[in-house]
Amino acid sequence: MNLSKSKYCKAVQCEKMLWLDKYKKEVKEEIDNESVLENGTNVGELAKKLFGNYLNIEFNNDLNKMIDDTKRALENDTVIITEASFVYNNNFCSVDILKKDGDKYEMYEVKSSTHISDIYLDDISYQYYVLTSLGLNITKASIVYINSSYVRQGELELDKLFKIKDLTDIVISKQEEVARRILELESVMKSKKEPKVDLGNQCFSPYDCPFFKYCSRHLPEKNVFDIKGLYLNKKVEYYKKGIISYEDLINSDISNKYKEVIDFELNDKEDKINSEEIKKFLKSLYYPIYYLDFESYQESVPSYDGISPYMQVPFQYSLHIENKDGTLNHKEFLAEGGIDPRRVLAERLVKDIPRDSCVLAYNMSFEKRVIKYLAGLYEDLSDDLMNIHDNIKDLMIPFQNRSYYSKNMHGSYSIKYVLPSLYPDDPSLDYHNLSMVHNGSEASDSYFKLSTLSGAELKELRENMLKYCGLDTYAMVKVLKKLKDSI
């Protein structure tokens, strides 16, 4: 068996995942992690500069070439090597950063996360096993990760952007475990018989398993893993007890909140409408109503001053304005690619929304957080921005409180469930009918592409980004209409 650190970590999560990846690839589902991989690449390239000049081992499909290049690099007494590659008994690894000083070595594994998870310890422990088995004297094994408290001001400060945690003692303590697991994996992977591993937390943690649909094919169509909002530990606990189907769950000790969801679906119940609560919510609104939705991006490495790693930076908004007579106006903003979008967005926002207006958002915590951040950033706009902030109301509340509930919401109050349950046959409200941009993640990815395009391609992408964000606020208009009609 040829093992790598990524394969080893898959096996730590679930050995069956590794076996299926080899013998039953056809049942694997694709999981979108493009932005995660891109963040990891950017962070890795920057982290290489932490220790000064370095020698990089270029990737090659022929791993022996990388191993030979590493051997030649190690002929220097003192050297920093990135992607140093080794193999021991068919166990291969590339070390993100390897520091050699005479006969002593320090190894550093780089992560784009802001915390150290258990799987990272397994990752670096496997690498330590390979290198020490080859006779290298590893004096330090550390994780390099992102400092979430860092705020960029001026030039990027790598020593502040990154944190380094020495985990040598923990890594050494895990060496017997690594050796034992490798032996067990050799036996598992040689067998043509699928390992017997039951469903559990490992199906979703630390990463979503691409084989869950295959492994859960024995479950009824509506089962405990479909219950939205229920903690994973509780789902697994019920599953292990044999409380799996909706029929099982409705007779269990599960809370009444979830029993209501199950009851609606099992008995095909009519929509639940609490007219008094809906009237109370509607009375809190006044015209004209400004329906607001932001799009934002996150970067592991902040590009501009005043931004921390993974902070949500707004670059676009849509604003539908509903007058008392029901007529609609629409305003929108989308920043140019390759610029800091914050100031120009804030200026346009206070221009488009008059003071003391009734502003409506869906799940307003995000919009309020963005506006408060901008107000703290720009003193001259602060009063107007905070006036918008203080007048935001949340369209999500009637659905979160289940003043209005439909079985097709499946226990969720996300607008992505609420909207199609209120308007199941309206193609104009179907995000699948949009082109290029269908969700917030695709909108963020598209913003980064703007600076790389020109001409017709740029125009087409911008138009589709505007259509997507515009649908978010138009959807809110339609949701409020349904609430009005319901009473």
* pLDDT tens, N- to C-terminus, the chain (487 residues): 589 999 999 999 999 999 999 999 999 998 765 555 456 678 999 999 999 999 999 999 999 999 999 999 999 999 999 999 999 999 999 999 999 999 999 999 999 999 999 999 999 999 999 999 999 999 999 999 999 999 999 999 999 999 999 999 999 999 999 999 999 999 999 999 999 999 999 999 999 999 999 999 999 999 999 999 999 999 999 999 999 999 999 999 999 999 999 999 999 999 999 999 999 999 999 999 999 999 999 999 999 999 999 999 999 999 999 999 999 999 999 999 999 999 999 999 999 999 999 999 999 999 999 999 999 999 999 999 999 999 999 999 999 999 999 999 999 999 989 999 999 989 999 999 999 999 999 999 999 999 999 999 999 999 999 999 999 999 999 999 999 999 9
| Whole-angstrom distance, CA of residue 460 vs CA of residue 426 | 24
Strands (E) in 311-458, as ranges, are: 313-322, 328-334, 358-361, 392-394, 404-405
Q: Are 301 and 42 in contact (CB under 8 A)?
A: yes
pTM of the model: 0.91
CATH of domain 270-487: 3.30.420
- pLDDT given at position 41: 73
Closest by Cα among 390, 416, 383, 419 to 404: 419
Domain ranges in the chain with CATH number 3.30.420:
270-487
| Whole-angstrom distance, CA of residue 389 vs CA of residue 138 | 54
- pLDDT given at position 34: 52
Side-chain half-sphere CA neighbours of 64 within 13 A? 0
Domain ranges in the chain with CATH number 3.90.320:
5-190
- What amino acid is encoded at 130 in this protein? V
- pLDDT given at position 436: 97
Q: Are 370 and 314 in contact (CB under 8 A)?
A: yes
Q: Looking at 206-353, list the stretches that DSSP marks H as alpha helix, in order from N- to C-terminal side.
A: 212-215, 232-240, 246-250, 256-266, 275-283, 342-352
Closest by Cα among 95, 96, 110 to 165: 110
User: Which residues are within 8 A (CB) of 385 and not within 5 positions of it... i.e. 6 or more apart?
Assistant: 346, 349, 350, 371, 372, 374, 375, 378
> What is the DSSP code string of 28-70?
PPP---HHHHHHHHHHHHHHGGGGSS-EE----SSHHHHHHHH
DSSP classification of residue 300? S
Q: How many CB atoms lie within 10 A of CB 45?
A: 13
- pLDDT given at position 1: 54
| Whole-angstrom distance, CA of residue 237 vs CA of residue 19 | 26
| Whole-angstrom distance, CA of residue 188 vs CA of residue 20 | 11
- pLDDT given at position 467: 97
- pLDDT given at position 184: 95
| Whole-angstrom distance, CA of residue 106 vs CA of residue 100 | 7
Q: Classify domain 5-190 by CATH architecture.
A: Alpha-Beta Complex (3.90)
